[in-house]
Amino acid sequence: MARYAFRRARITLEAPSTWRKAPLLKRMRYPRQPELYGPNSEYIGFDSVERDDTPPSVAEASIQLRDDIVARGNTVVSVSSLVVLGKEHPTAIFDKPMLYAPREMTRMKKYRLFLAGTVYTITATLSFEGSKSARGEPSPYQRGDVLTESSRRTTFYSEEGYDKIVKSISIS
């Protein structure tokens, strides 16, 4: 594991040493939205980092998180929570349809952390499920084992692995 620091977002976290930060130009353009990429299409990134001095309860924050996900046209699979820095925070797993092929889905996990007067909304990519094209060749957007005759799934980093990264967050 390696330690990654993001000054503008005021956080540090631990992730596998084979991962890398977003390209320099993207980091300069969006300094408060850190991202890490793994070697096999793994991804974890901060959607937003915003001030909030009055955090809602975990139940209220879970409802807000669920509503935010659904408002973007996604399907919530489950809502749960995760303890980070001694406090419980809401998380949700959801399926995001691909714009170019609505039957193909990316399964993602979203975290909403309320730490030191700041709300961190983080998204991680769990897996991709796509279908073969009408001509029979596999979609170029997936790798992995065939689930059915017409479906393929690519699993990226594990949910537990992403949870471990998020639990390693410290405020600087």
Cα 90 to Cα 79, 80, 111, 168: the distances in Å are 7, 6, 6, 16
**What is the pLDDT, as a whole number, of residue 153?**
60
Give residue-wise pLDDT tens across range 53-80: 888 999 999 999 999 999 999 999 999 9
Residue 64 phi/psi, 5° resolution?
Answer: -60, -45
- Report the range of poorest mean pLDDT among 19-28, 38-47, 100-109, 132-141: 132-141
Q: Quote the pLDDT of residue 102.
A: 66
What's the pLDDT score for residue 131?
A: 58
**pLDDT classification of 25: cutoffs 50, 70, 90:** confident
Tell me how far CA of residue 109 lies from CA of 25, 52, 125, 146, 165, in angstroms. 26, 22, 7, 23, 13
Q: Which residue has the tokens 């979609």?
A: 139
Q: Convert the chain into a string of H (helix), E (strand) and C (coil).
A: CEEEEECCCCEEEEECCCCEECCHHHHHHCCCCCEEECCCCCEEEEEEEEECCCCCCHHHHHHHHHHHHHHCCCEEEEEEEEEECCEEEEEEEEEEEECCEEEEEEEEEEEEEEECCEEEEEEEEEEEEEECCCCCCCCCCCCCCEEECCEEEEECCCHHHHHHHHHCCEEC
Is 90 exceeded by the pLDDT of residue 141? no
The average confidence (pLDDT) of the chain is: 84
Q: What is the pLDDT of residues 89-140, one digit of tens each?
A: 999 999 898 777 767 788 899 999 999 889 999 999 988 776 554 444 444 4
- Which is more confident, 151 or 25? 25
